[in-house]
Amino acid sequence: MTTSNTHNEHFERHRAAVLIPTYNNANTLEEVVKGALSYTSHVIVVNDGATDHTSAILEKYPGIHKVSYSPNRGKGIALRRGFEYALNQGYDYVITMDADGQHFASDLPGMLDKINSDPETLVIGARNLNQENMPGKNTFANKFSNFWFYVETGLKGPDTQSGYRLYPLRRMGRVRWWCTKYEFEIEVLVRSAWKGIKIDWTPVKVYYPPAEERISHFRPFRDFSRISVLNTVLVLITFLYIKPRDFFFWLLKRENWKKLWKEEILNPTESNARKAAAIGFGVFMGIVPIWGFQLLVAFLVSIKLKLNKALVFLAAHVSTPPLTPFIIFFSFLAGKVWMGRSAKDLLFDKQITIAAVRDNLLQYVFGAVTLAIAAGLAAWAISYVLLAIFRKNK
């Protein structure tokens, strides 16, 4: 197999390799390997417990790196072991190609070109999802995946399900991954974005054979269920940890405060009433007693109502530490109005505990809703007055 010296030098300069996970793809694997070898000699094939004649095919190419094990463990494990092997061999990047012949080796140089200007980018090969023979379920699944990727990371992209990717292994580090099957490709993408790794896309060609010739190891019900569970977990982590963490670090930068004031507060394209409504709604959502889901609901409702998401998100942090005990205390205080003789007194210095909240949950819930409404209305009124004054002066 003749390898292009120019392209091979490109791979060697970046310390990059092509990584091909495979399981019972003997009919297409050899052409995929040949295609990769025509661009670089740095090829890693992970034999994920294949039971066909995959091993015999790989023996024809003694120059490639091989990782083999049995039994079959799933694509996630194959990729994870391929990443680990590549790091141990001194590679900084791998470009993953599926072994079913869908990906074209001619797109490999374009993937590498994306890291010339930004070497720490995770690059995804974006497919043309409107082309001939594209399965309809793929288009739906990709839109579904794109939506949840946006919710979990705030990033929009054309294709989050493509397996044709360039991974910056050194930048990603040796992470303890969770997933073992197809859902791993979602996990690695979201957790890389959380780590601050830039995600970018480049157009690639893709071949989808006619339905009768198509071989897929994807099990729709089981794998889609696993993906749904993963997205549920990722969304919870996003709004319980990632968003508050990013918000805290955002607050530490002085230039962000200036940008928020100039672009969101003083922006003349939005009325004072709309801005005040966003602030009031954010305060309401920060206090209303749906702990763990406040930011998620606030984010989704602000999209539906077309409110200023930055202001809603900022105001919704009214109940984050160290303000949390004060919110709980005043919620109990407001709840006394509704509980009558059964109302309980809560001492601020001694009794603001999880047990106290649990034992007097009804009073807390009534009071928190009351406080949320009152605080939201007050925030709206005060914000409206201040905006009218400052924006007029501006």
Taking only the tens place, the pLDDT of each residue in 249-299 is: 877 888 887 877 777 666 677 888 999 999 999 999 999 988 778 888 888
pLDDT in tens, 343-361: 776 655 455 556 656 657 8
CB 46 within 8 A of CB 115: no
Quick one: tokens of 132? 């001939």
State residue 35's pLDDT score: 95
Quick one: tokens of 125? 């090969």
State residue 37's pLDDT score: 96
**One-letter identity of residue 167:** Y
pLDDT in tens, 144-187: 888 999 999 999 989 998 999 999 999 999 999 999 888 999 99
State residue 43's pLDDT score: 97
CA atoms of 154 and 147, how far apart (whole Å):
10
CA atoms of 220 and 149, how far apart (whole Å):
20
CB 36 within 8 A of CB 97: yes
CA atoms of 62 and 114, how far apart (whole Å):
30
CA atoms of 41 and 3, how far apart (whole Å):
7
CA atoms of 127 and 102, how far apart (whole Å):
10
pLDDT in tens, 366-383: 999 999 999 999 999 999
Output phi, psi for 120, to 5 deg: -105, 25
Question: What residues contact residue 88 under an 8 Å CB cut-off, 6+ apart?
Answer: none
CA atoms of 22 and 163, how far apart (whole Å):
12
Question: What residues contact residue 255 under an 8 Å CB cut-off, 6+ apart?
Answer: none
Q: Which residues of 168-203 are buried (b: 16+ CB within 10 A; e: fewer)?
A: bbebbeeeeeebbbbbbbbbbbbbbbbeebbbebbe
State residue 256's pLDDT score: 81
**Residue 88 above 60 pLDDT?**
yes
pLDDT interval class at 323 (50, 70, 90): confident
Handedness of CA 102, 103, 105, 106 (dihedral sign): positive
Strand locations in 83-164, DSSP E? 93-96, 121-126
pLDDT interval class at 130 (50, 70, 90): low
